[in-house]
């Protein structure tokens, strides 16, 4: 099974990346430098190119005080990418 894990530089993503040592499990772990999840074109291209069985988005915009003043960034990290299942 191929898993595409994005935003893997944080605590959850780092732990997820370690799971790649399991037999039959291929985890492609991408941090923000490798894939900016706010760039929908890059996300689409990566999903189409890697053809994963599962995509895990470990990203979170967790700075609550700033999220209120930067709603576009908060939605890009926490919602937008996950709302696109029919595009693949």
Instruction: Spell out the domains of the chain, with CATH numbers in brackets.
Output: 2-87 (3.40.50.720)
Residue 25 has pLDDT above 70, yes or no: yes
Q: What pTM did the predictor assign?
A: 0.72
Confidence of residue 4 (pLDDT cuts 50, 70, 90): very high
pLDDT at 28: 92
pLDDT tier at 49, thresholds 50, 70, 90: very high
SS3 assignment for the chain: CEEEEECCCCHHHHHHHHHHHCCCCEEEEECCCCCCCCCHHHHHHHHHHHCCCEEEECCCCCCHHHHHHCHHHHHHHHCHHHHCHHHC
């Amino acid at each position: 099974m191929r898993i595409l894990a994005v935003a893997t530089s944080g605590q959850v993503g780092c732990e997820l990346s370690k799971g790649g040592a399991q037999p039959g499990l291929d985890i492609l772990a991408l941090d923000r430098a490798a894939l900016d999840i706010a760039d929908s074109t890059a996300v689409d291209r990566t999903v189409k190119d890697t053809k994963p069985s599962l995509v895990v988005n470990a990203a979170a915009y967790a700075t609550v005080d700033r999220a209120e003043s930067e709603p576009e960034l908060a939605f890009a990290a926490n919602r937008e990418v996950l709302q696109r299942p029919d595009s693949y």
